[in-house]
A and B are shown apart, each in its own frame.
Chain A
Amino acid sequence: MPRIFSRRNFLITGAVLGGTAMVAAVGGIGTLATVDMDGPDPLLDGDRLVFNAFVAIHQDGSVVIQAPRTEMGQGIHTGLAMLVAEELDIPFDARIRVEHPVEQLAAYTNFSGPLRTRPEGAQGPVMWAAKRLLGLLPLNNTAGSRSIVGMWVPMRQAGAAARHMLVTAGAARLGVQVGDVTTSDGFVRHAASGRNIAYGDLVRDAAAVPPPSDPVLKPASAWRLIGRAQPRVDLPAKIRGEPVFGADVVLPDMLHAAIRQAPVFGASVARVVNEAETRAQPGIVDVAVIDGRSVAVVASSWWLAETAAWRLDIQWAATEAEVVTSAGLARALQSALDGDEPHLYLHEGDVEVPAGQVVTAAYTAPFVTHACMEPMNATVLIRGDGTAEAWCPTQSPMSMRWGVNRGAALADVDPTSVTCHVTMTGGAFGRRSDLDVVVQAAFLATRHRDRPVKLMWSRQEDIGRGIYRSHAAARMRAALGPDGLPVSYDALVAAQSMQQSASARLLPFGNGASPHGDRFTVEGLDKSYYAVPNRRLRSHHVPSHMPIGAWRSNGFSFGTFFAESFVDECAQAASQDPVAYRRRLLRDSPRHLAVLDRVAALAGWGTPLAPGRGRGVAIEEAYESVVAEVVEITVAADGEITVDRVFCVVDVGIVVNPDAVVAQMEGGIQFGVTTALMSSITLEAGAVMESNFHDFPMQRLANAPEIVVEIMPSNLPPGGAGEPGIVPVAAAIANAIHAATGRRLRSLPFATVETLGERRLRTVLPAVDMAARN
C-alpha cells in the first residue's frame, strides 16, 4: 500500500503521530472536529494536489480519497467516498480510488463514539479538550456503528473545501467572478462563455488558494449521490479474488507463524515437552513462548507451522479456573440476581407503586463468539534500525499500534516508529477492536529482525481461545394498570462487564474501567420510548476468567431479547395483540410508531397463517436508528423450526447509500437468526468446548430466511446501520414461536442443531424449555 501522505500531512495538520510519540503540536492540530482546513496551505506533490487529510486530485483527474474507517464488509469506504464526491461534484466512478490512510492523523479521530456526540454538535471547552485528547492518541476506530455518524460532516467538508479551491482557481483562470462558475462531473464550468476546465488541469492553481475555514455544504435538495444507491468501490477486487485481506499479505522474506493458546484462559505454559524435536523439523524456524501464555511455531510456510503446532505437546500450569463450567457460571449469574446491591442504572418514578396484575419472567443468554470468516491474523516487521511496520485487518489502527508496542515490549524492544497498514477485513463484528493477535505477532517479529512475521490463528484458536460476548440473565417484572399497559417496569440483569474486560486489555494503563454500571450490560433494557411512568433498571457485574469483548450490537443482543420478549408477555397477560399493545406504548414516540406501523403493514400483520406457523414482532432504538422486524416461522410436528421470512423496517435518519443499509440489515438479520437459533459457547473444566463450524454452526443458504427491508424516509442526521439489524431478531423469533406453538422460550439459543449429512443442518426446538427447568 503506498504511503500517500507523509511529509504532506505533517504540514497540513501539524502532527504525524507515529510510534509511541504523542506529538503535542498544539498550534497545528487545529480544529479536530473537522478536516484541519485552517492549517497551512495545501501542497502539490508531483502530479497531484493534496487538498486536505481526505482528498487529493491528480492532474489526470483521478481522485484519491482517504477513508479512515475499516472496510469490513459494511461498505464504509463507499459511503465515505460518496460524501466527498457529493460535495466535490465528481462522478462516482472508477476515477475515484479509496484508500485507508496509513498516517494516523488527528483529523481521523473517532470522537463521536466515546464522547457520544456528533461533530456538528460538539461544542464548548470541555468537548474541545476531550476531542483534543482523543486526537492526540489518536483514537481512530471503526466501532459502535459510528462511522457515518462521525464522518458525515467532516467528509463532506473535505469535499466542499476542495471544490471551493478548484472553483476559485477556475474562475481566476477564466477571468470571471467565482459566482459565475459552477461545477459538475469534475469540471469548473462557465456557462456564459461555454468554457470548462477539468479539475485535473486546475490542481496547480488551486494549490495557491487558501482553504476555506468554513466550507459551505450543499442543501439536501442539491444532492445527487447521497440517498441514491451507489456500487461498492471494493467489490470488483473481491469478486476477482484479489488479495485484499490481512490473510493475503505476502512480503519478501516473510515468515509464517501458527499458535496454540491456553485452553483455560489465564493459564500459563509450564513446558513445551517436544520443543527440541519440533525445532528440528525441516522448515521450522522457531518455537516461542509468548508472554508465558501461548506457544507459537514459526516456519517457512503456514501449513508447516500449523501442522507442527498441532503436534506440540504443551503442559499448562494449573489454574483456579479449571473447575469452571457453563452450569457454574450460569448459577453465578442467578446468585448475583438473588443478591443485594445491584447497580442502580435508572429509576424513574416508583416501581413499587401498587398496581393490578403483576407479570414476571426470567431469561438467559449464553456466551457467543464472532467467528469472523477471516481468521485472526497480523503481520509485523521489526527492522534492525528499530522501526516497525505492521499489516493487520483491524478495526483500530490505534489498538494495532499499541499492540505492536506491547508485543515488542515483551521482548524489551521499543520500536522507534510503528507504521500501520489497515487491510480489508474478512468480517470483524467487534472482534478486531482487540489487539491480541498483533501483540503476539509483534513479539515474534522481535525474534526475527528484518523479516516480516505473519501470524494466523487456526479456526480452532478463533472459536475456542477467542474473545466472547458475555452470557447474561435477567429478571423482569411489570405491574399492569386497568388498561393492561405497564404502570411499572423493573429490569434486573446480570452479565460480565464488557467495558471492564475490554478496556483492561486495550487501554495502556490501569485495570480497565469500572464494571459497575456498564452501559453495555443494560443496552436494550431501558425502553425509554415506551410510555411507562415508573421504570427501574439495575445491573450486576459477574466476573469470570472469560475475556469479554465487543460483539455486534453488544448488550442489545441479549437485552432487547429480554425486554421485547417481556413486552409480548405483558401483552399476552393483558390479552392484547403484540402490535396493538406496542402501538399504545409508543403513543409519545412518533418515530418509533411509524416504523412499527410500517413493518406491520409490510408483513401483513394480522393476516391468518397456516397451523404451525407464527409471526413475532420486536422493535428497538439503537445507534440513533430505530428498527422493527416481523419474523415468520414454521414449527413442524417434530419440533423443527425454520425462519421463513423476516420483514425489516429501519429509520437510520438520512441515508447515504441505501443499498449498503439494506445489505447491513440483511446481514445483521442472518447473523441474528444464527445466534438466536444455534449459537452457544460452553465451558467444561474452564475451557471452551467449541472449536470450529461443526460445533459452533452457522446457518447456511438452505436455512436462510427470505428478507424484505424497507428504509423509512427521514430528515434526521444519519444514525448507525451496522448493528441495528441484528437487534430485534431474537425477540421477534421468540414471539413468533409463542404465536405458533403457545410455548414461551426464554433461553437462548432456542434450538438444537441436527446435522443432515455433511454441511447440512436443521434446527429443532427442544421438547422442554431449559429455562423453565432452571
Chain B
Amino acid sequence: MVSLNVNGAPVTVSAPDDKPLLWVLREDLGLLGAKYGCGIAQCGACRVLINGVSTPSCVTTLSTVAGASVVTVEGLPQADGTLSVLQQAWLDEQVPQCGFCQPGFLVAATALLDRVPQPTNAEIDEFIDNICRCGTYPRIRRAIHRAAAAQAQG
C-alpha cells in the first residue's frame, strides 16, 4: 500500500512496489491522460509533475513516489475546470495534431513556465525534449511564448 497525492487528492494504491507510476495512474487510478509512448524515458508522453518536477512516469516506480504530490494533465485545469493559461494558449495556437504526445508536452511546459516564467527559445529547446511524431514543434514553441506573455499580463 502506497499513499500519495494525485491532482490534489490523497490516494492509496495497492499495487506492486515496482509498478511504474504510469501504469498505476492508468490502471489503478483510471487517469488515462499520461500516455505510454516508449517505456524507456525517451518520448515524454508519460510525463507528470512529481513534486513539481516534470518526470517520465514510465520509469518511475510506485515505491519512489510514496508521499509525493503528482500532477497529471487532468490536474492542470483550475478547480472549476477552466483550462490553465498554458492549455488555453495550446488551444489558441491549435497545437495538437493527433494529440497523443500532448499531455506530456503540456506537463513539461507547465514545469518550464513554473521555473522560467519568460523562457527564451534556447531555454525552451533546453527544457522541452519530448517527441512529437506529428511535428507540432513550431506551434508548441509559439504556445509557450503565448502562455508566458499571458501570465506576465495576468
Contact = CB atoms under 8 A, between A and B. Distances in A.
A239 B90 contact: yes
Contact of A670 (B32, B45, B135): B135
Interface string A221-260: 0000000000110111011111111011010000000000
B86 to A, nearest CB: 9
Contact of A231 (B33, B91, B101, B134): B91
Q: Which of B33, B103, B128, B137 has the most CB of A within 10 A?
A: B137
A371 B101 CA distance: 12
Contacts of A231: 91, 94
A239 B96 contact: yes
A379 to B, nearest CB: 13
A303 B20 contact: yes
A671 B137 contact: no
Given A241-B73, A666-B135, A701-B124, A759 B129 contact: yes
Given A373-B43, A693-B38, A693-B131, A427 B20 contact: no
Contacts of A234: 99
Contacts of B80: none
Contacts of A429: 133
A18 interface: no
Interface in A353-372: 371-372
A557 to B, nearest CB: 15
Contact of A427 (B124, B133, B140): B133
B98 A240 contact: no
Contacts of B125: 701-702
A250 B30 contact: yes
B23 A701 contact: no
A761 to B, nearest CB: 9
B45 A373 contact: yes
A73 B94 contact: no
Contacts of B23: 301-303
Contact of B42 (A303, A426, A659, A694): A694
Contact of B39 (A238, A244, A459, A668): A459
B90 A667 contact: no
A398 interface: no
A517 B38 CA distance: 38
Interface in B29-66: 30, 32-45
A373 B131 contact: yes
A740 B45 CA distance: 36
B106 interface: yes
B19 interface: yes
B33 to A, nearest CB: 3
Given A238-B102, A240-B77, A303-B23, A670 B137 contact: yes
B32 A250 contact: yes
Contacts of A659: 94
A372 B133 contact: yes
A234 B83 CA distance: 15
B132 to A, nearest CB: 7
Nearest to A760: B129
Given A668-B135, A702-B125, A241 B103 contact: yes
A692 B103 contact: no
A326 B32 CA distance: 39
Contacts, number: 177
Contact of B83 (A239, A375, A426, A700): A239
A142 B77 CA distance: 33
Give the bracket for the number of chain B residues in contact with chain A.
Answer: 35 or more
Given A373-B132, A374-B35, A426 B98 contact: yes
B114 interface: no
Contacts of B45: 373
A554 interface: no
A110 interface: no
B13 to A, nearest CB: 12
A424 B102 CA distance: 14
Interface string A75-95: 100000000000000000000
A375 B36 contact: yes
Interface in A661-720: 663, 666-671, 692-694, 698, 700-702, 704, 706-707
A702 B129 contact: yes
B110 interface: no
Contacts of A13: none
Interface string B4-34: 0000000000000001100100010010111
Nearest to B137: A704
A190 B98 CA distance: 43
Q: Which of B42, B72, B74, B139 has the most CB of A within 10 A?
A: B42
A12 B141 CA distance: 48
A373 B32 contact: no
A458 interface: yes
A74 interface: yes
Q: Which of B39, B45, B128 has the most CB of A within 10 A?
A: B39
Nearest to B100: A426
Given A372-B133, A671-B135, A706-B138, A235 B91 contact: yes
A243 B133 contact: no
A758 interface: yes
B100 A458 contact: no
A368 to B, nearest CB: 12
Nearest to B37: A373
Contacts of A72: 98
B94 A235 contact: yes
Contacts of B102: 238-239, 241
Interface in A753-768: 758-760
A183 interface: no
A235 B99 contact: yes
B97 interface: yes
B93 to A, nearest CB: 10
A425 interface: yes
Contacts of B124: 701
Nearest to B83: A239
Given A235-B91, A235-B99, A667 B39 contact: no
Q: Which of A429, A663, A669 has the most CB of B within 10 A?
A: A663
Given A72-B98, A702-B126, A373 B134 contact: yes
Given A73-B134, A250-B30, A426 B129 contact: no
A244 B101 CA distance: 13
Contacts of A240: 33, 73-74, 77, 83, 87
B69 interface: no
Contacts of B118: none
Contact of A236 (B35, B40, B91): B91
Contacts of B98: 72-73, 372-374, 424-428
Contacts of A73: 96-99, 134
Given A670-B137, A701-B132, A759-B130, 5 more contacts: A75-B97, A245-B35, A373-B100, A693-B40, A698-B133
11 contacts: A73-B134, A239-B87, A241-B103, A250-B32, A373-B100, A374-B100, A426-B101, A666-B136, A701-B130, A704-B135, A706-B138
The 10 closest A-B pairs by CB, nearest first: A670-B135, A426-B100, A241-B33, A73-B98, A238-B99, A73-B97, A241-B73, A704-B137, A702-B125, A303-B23
